[in-house]
Amino acid sequence: MWRIRAKNTGDDGVRPRRRRVAQVTALALVASMAAATAYRLIVVAPEGPPAATSESAPPAPRVYRYADFAGEPASADARGIADWVIDSGDNQGMPFVVLDKVDARVFVFDASGKLTGASAALLGLAHGDHFVPGIGDKKLSQITLDERTTPAGRYVAEPGVNLTGEQVVWVDYDAGLSMHAVRATNPKERRLQRLASATPADNRISYGCINLPREFFHDVIAPTFKRTRGIVYVLPETGPARMLFGAYEVPASAPTAPAPVALGTREQ
């Protein structure tokens, strides 16, 4: 039998040039497959747990701010509005006053919300929160009994003087509404006695202005408004305070944990 030998071929019957090309191609394919396998190993089986992301972190708790009444008793409305003022920043960095008409009490705070003083106050004779248009242009003798209200609202107050040169803080200049030291010019009105009484029931006597003890006005109010304006919040007596000011409820602060008992002692 004749054995036919392929001319110029290699042992596998492929021409030498094509054989070298095939070998290079095969080696490249093997290297590519090895690289792909290593990549899959890195991606599919990473070392250690996945790093935490900001999306998986719990949100930070809301931190509320509160007015500091320094232990001074106050109604829920007065405390709630003062807390809202500080938490919301509604006072815009200015000192502020909260007037509780129901309790006939004034609370004065510095810009940070710390109480600087509190006092009883005399208010308008008539109950009500409304403002009487044009009342600031009337003489006192022309103001009727039902018009002698202390209108509720938020006011930007500033220091000044009245027509007699007396120092006042204008709550609403156009309406003639101010805070000033009490004037005991009419003994029948018993304004000093009303301020000193233990009940707010007899604190309605003024034409609408907010009368304060002379010492309190000159020691607390006047220095507070000496070089700056401030905000005065006159709480309503005929409706919800939060609704009037557009305020929200500030949750009560968390209770303080009891102090730990010192080692080596026993509770009595």
Res. 234: pLDDT tops 80: yes
Average pLDDT over residues 164-174: 95
C-alpha span between 42 and 113 (Å, rounded): 58
* CATH code for the domain in which residue 122 is found: 2.40.440.10
Instruction: Give the pTM.
Output: 0.73
At residue 53, the pLDDT reads 57
- Domain range for 183 is 76-245
* Number of Cβ atoms within 10 Å of the Cβ of 166: 12
Res. 37: pLDDT tops 70: no
In a domain? residue 221: yes
C-alpha span between 151 and 24 (Å, rounded): 97
Q: How confident is the model at residue 16 (pLDDT cuts 50, 70, 90)?
A: very low
Number of domains the chain contains: 1
User: What pLDDT digit, counting tens, does each position of 100-114 carry?
Assistant: 999 999 999 999 999
In a domain? residue 214: yes
Q: 243: Cβ–Cβ under 8 A, 6 or more apart, which residues?
A: none
In a domain? residue 104: yes
The three-state secondary structure class of 228 is coil
In one letter, which amino acid is 249? E
Q: Starting at the edge strand that comes first in sequence, how are the strands of the sheet with 115-120 ordered?
A: 115-120, 105-109, 96-100, 230-234, 153-161, 167-172, 177-181, 210-212
Q: How confident is the model at residue 191 (pLDDT cuts 50, 70, 90)?
A: very high
In a domain? residue 2: no
At residue 124, the pLDDT reads 96
Instruction: Look at residues 38, 225, 235, 41 and name the one whose alpha carbon lies nearest to residue 150.
Output: 235
